[in-house]
Amino acid sequence: MSTSGSSTGNGPLYIGVSTKMYLGYQESLRWLSEVRSIVDDRPGLGTDSAAESPVRVFVIPSFPVLEPAARILAGSPVLLGAQNCAWGDGPLTGEVSPGMLAELGVSLVEIGHAERRRLFAEDDAVVARKVRAVVGHSLTPLLCIGEPDRLDAGAAVDFCVRQVRAATGGDTDLLPRLVLAYEPVWAIGADEPAAPHHVNAVLGLIREALGPGCPVMYGGSAGPGLLPQLGAADGLFLGRFAHDPANLGRVLDEAVLLRQAGAVAPASNSSSRS
């Protein structure tokens, strides 16, 4: 998945959903079929080529669902992602290699999520190995970053930029290959997302620190009504709110309207939830 040309205001908006382990196998298939219908019903999302779409939609279901998901989504602009991967091929029992994910039609791989770091002890070194492995198979790393505790914008940015530089080994040539998902850990699973003024400040400063060419989304209790308030965001990484396909449809409508207008609306200090 190419990320070139992405910049706030005129580049594509990325709208993605991870199902984590909330949906069973059959429920996942039904959800994917509904997502396909929602996207097909919105011609403003573009053609069957994601690269030509003003809004790039991606879904990240559980590993066992990837093969049928590719069939359900075939011919649509929806990109398929994976929730994790190994750092290579070979004797890594129980893991899934990026090479196999590429064979299955996966376009992007989520790396460095706070749950992987906290529950599975994935440190910066592991995250960096996975980033290299994913890029080596021509896939896009969806790198999750975010401060664990509530910090002011400057301290949050320092933390996030250190995570990005650790994940890339300081190789700036890797930055255009990434999509970043800014997910403050304290906002994941919370009743409310982080306040828009905080998100806008952090994303703007991250972009200043890293330079152009790397889309930066927001995730963390994100839902309908939030995107129009995030003038600095290149999209939303959605979780449980979008497990209701109707909520995903509402966010996609917001994204289409924003791109038709040519830019995200000015930021607001109010927060939003579904």
Which has the closest alpha carbon to 228: 192, 201, 252, 212?
252
Active-site residue set:
113, 183
Which has the closest alpha carbon to 203: 175, 232, 223?
232
Determine the Cα angle at 212 with ends 262 and 263, to 5°.
10
Dihedral pair phi/psi, residue 253, rounded to 5°: -60, -40
Which helix (H) or strand (E) element contains residue 82? strand 79-82
Residue located via tokens 């709208």: 15
Dihedral pair phi/psi, residue 143, rounded to 5°: -85, 120
Q: How far apart are CA 160 and CA 210, in angstroms?
A: 11
